[in-house]
Structure 1
Amino acid sequence: MNAGVLGDSSAQKRILWGTFGMSATGALVGLNLAILKNLQPISRHTLTMSANWALYGLLFLSTRELLLAEQHDKNLALNLPDSRTRAADQLFSSTFAGAFTGSSLALVRRRTKAAAASGALFFGAVSLVGQWAVIKINQKRQQWIMQKMGLLPQPNASSDQSTSWAARFRRAVWKDPVLLLPSWFPLRRISSDEYRSILLARREELVFEKRELSNAIDDMDRREQELLRRLADL
């Protein structure tokens, strides 16, 4: 992995502020759990939960930034802008970082391979869903900003392209159901020219089969006549 990310000030800020946010969240969760379960002393449980969350945040964010930096270097080598692969890079980096962090912490705590596997699966799935939600929220926010700036047309509620549930239901009812199928589905709607070509090809096949069948019948008739003639000569 590219360790140069540790010298990047923006990456350092993201790691530090993310770790601080995780620590604060862990402290809040620990405080509420200690109060609800009447765990004493409250300060010790609060600090323990805060330290655990901070450790997870530090390891997760550091691994994620390292993976993103490595992908950035690959994009530079291929002359690809980061914007073209940003969503996929973030999903992969967050999922791998969550799985790696979860498995590492579970292995240190329980010292079993089963715990490491379950930790990787659980935290990887949580990181994947969380990153996907963040990407979708950012995309919606960007679309909203562009609409406010007049860079995108405002949605028309009466338009057929409306995103309301009523419009979606109306399009689903009136639209050809075959057109709603994905491109990889084997069933598709063919044009009239394609259908005519299929009929003509099938007609040629039937004519050929009819000719072959007629020839077979004529051949059988000749053999039958020959056999009858031989029987009559006996």
Structure 2
Amino acid sequence: MYFMLSYRDVSKRYGDVIALKGVTLEFQPGKIHALLGPNGSGKSTLMKIALGLVKPDSGSVRVYDIDPVRDPVGARRLIGYVPEEVLIYESLTPSEWFSFVGSIYGMDRELLRERLDTLIRVFKMEEHMGKLGGELSLGNKRKVMLITALMKEPKVLILDEPFSGLDPEVARVLKEILRRKAEEGVVIFSTHILELAEAVADDITILRYGEVVARGPISELKGKKDLESYFMEVTGLSSELQELLKAL
């Protein structure tokens, strides 16, 4: 079977720390996939390998037919990526930033404007387009990053902790966008919160210490020992997170 994104026996070390150990995963469109695990479980490393930002020590990865180790630029053309860290140019306005990135992507100006008009509206960024990046709130900075990833309509969407810093209304909008994108492409997001994975994803992959300990539809994984064990590690929900989950 052909997979849009696949990992075959991928391992990665950082010195003495094992980030990934023999990970084999395949992703197809039609579902929202969640990578679930505590900090340090290997979620971010797995994502960065698909973009060629991190080179695996062993194993292979394919984005469609592209090997991101050999052709990272080719892989990134197909991927929309939002890292966990907030990374924007604070000296540029969102409007200037989107135009700059659109020119790098080689996007038609009219097409770019049409897509941006829609994304700016759904993320409620109209009043902030003329502000410098450094003047934006954390939530609005994350919106800029999400719009940047979405505006080229990537075939593979990879989001690292995308709901962090978003208010409940925007989180609901993002969930709807992910649902639409999953109909035609691969959608993967990471989280360390079990309830969030359950509220948004169709399938989840649980990582612990760089290994896959459980994977499948949430309906099938509920009640299994691995899922229960991870759930026992999750601390009580904050009031802020409770409000976000209610919106989803």
TM-score by length of 1: 0.23
Q: Which has the larger radius of gyration?
A: 1
Report which of the two has the higher share of helix. Answer: 1
- With normalisation by structure 2, the TM-score equals 0.22
**Quick check: which one's strand share is greater?**
2
